[in-house]
Copies of this chain bind each other. A is one copy, B any other.
Amino acid sequence: MTKKLLLKDVARLAGVSEMTASRALRGAPDVSAKTKAKIEEIARTHGYVPNRIAGSLSSQSVNLVAVVVPSLNSFVFPEVLSGISAVLKESPLKPVVGISGYDLEEEESVIREMLSWRPSGLIVAGLEHTEATRRMLQQADCPVVEVMDVDGDPVRHCVGISHLQAGRDMAAQILERGYRRIGFIGTKMPQDFRARKRFDGFTDELAVQGVTLADLEHYSGESAIQTGRLLTAQMLARSPDLDCLYYSSDVMSVGGLMHCLAAGLSVPGDIALAGFNNLQILQGLPQQLATTDACRREIGERAAGIILQSRQTGGAEGLILDQLGPAISLGETL
């Protein structure tokens, strides 16, 4: 751990001015190939790492895109992130992730922190925010994209699916196939607005067709296969006449399938199952579970695309609202 190495040191060692060294290392023009090679050589051998704090302050530009998501454990947001990363890879921008923990106050503080670094763009999951957060998003002098959900009032750009509609569609499918004694198992995390919207859309559509939910169970904490299995067991124990279960997440429906397997219930003969997200863990299970694809990766890709586009147009690209059409896959459990 030697003395801190500054641009001025590299310049001195190369016998040039700081400016020339700076240009050389950034690949800027106006440096002869020979001088550039020499400077790069010196920087490399001495392990010079430029101070981007100073650089960004000076150039008034930060090549980072802030991405704020509720969690990384839930299997769903990592894939959004891959989409973002893949698209940004072709640009100088890099994603930086912040976790809000399904908590709007925490989200506010995370976003404030992110914006204080003056990123080139901000991608945030969800349309629900505190008032202060909305103000920050409006005033931010970088493109802002709210993702995952389109049911609400976006601050600026928005890419996502309608969870209300996803719930309705699944209800319609379930009813069309003749199921009538329907149970719902979903998160009660008060701030998982999207799960809530699917639930609302689901029950709405049931109501339209004169059906009411036969049983309902809420759980708190992160979704887990184990939780899905236990809650399914409980619900079927107290409501043995159910013919279909809709879960707020695939992780839970997998648990449901596991219970049915263990209990010797035939699916969908004895009980039909459906989840949401189309997670990768559905592949390879004993049965292909019914689900709705949440277009996670594509949402990430498009959001990143909007950030890039906005960089080019200089923010004059108008409001973009990109509603994707999620596809239900019935699998073998409906």
Give A contacts to B, CB under 8 Å.
Answer: 1-2, 4-5, 44, 47, 49-54, 56-57, 62, 72-73, 75, 78-79, 81-82, 85, 94, 96-97, 99, 112-113, 115-118, 132, 135-136, 138-141, 224-230, 254-255, 258, 261-262, 280-281, 283-286
Contacts and interface: CB of A to CB of B under 8 A. Distances in A.
B284 A229 contact: yes
Contacts of A140: 1
Nearest to A156: B1
B138 A113 contact: no
Contacts of A97: 96-97
A53 B62 contact: yes
B62 A73 contact: no
25 contacts: A1-B140, A47-B136, A49-B112, A49-B116, A49-B139, A53-B62, A53-B118, A54-B57, A57-B57, A72-B72, A73-B79, A73-B82, A75-B75, A78-B78, A85-B99, A94-B113, A224-B283, A225-B281, A225-B284, A225-B285, A228-B284, A255-B284, A258-B284, A258-B286, A261-B261
Nearest to A111: B49
A50 B116 contact: yes
Contacts of A72: 72, 78, 81-82
Most buried by B among A56, A75, A230, A255: A56
Contacts of A51: 57, 116, 118
Most buried by B among A51, A135, A139, A230: A139
A285 B285 CA distance: 11
Contacts of A284: 224-230, 254-255, 258
A117 B53 contact: yes
A102 to B, nearest CB: 14
Given A49-B116, A97-B97, A99-B85, A2 B139 contact: yes
Contacts of A225: 280-281, 283-285
Contact of A280 (B50, B94, B224): B224
Classify the interface of chain A: helix, strand, loop or mixed.
helix
A258 to B, nearest CB: 5
A139 B258 contact: no
A171 to B, nearest CB: 26
Of all A-B residue pairs in the complex, the 10 with the closest CB atoms, nearest first, are: A226-B284, A225-B284, A226-B283, A52-B116, A72-B78, A229-B284, A47-B135, A53-B57, A49-B115, A255-B284
A228 B280 CA distance: 13
A138 B1 CA distance: 6
A57 B53 CA distance: 6
Contacts of A285: 225, 258
A165 B230 CA distance: 35
Contact of A262 (B47, B99, B286): B286
A29 to B, nearest CB: 22
A72 to B, nearest CB: 4
Contacts of A280: 224-226
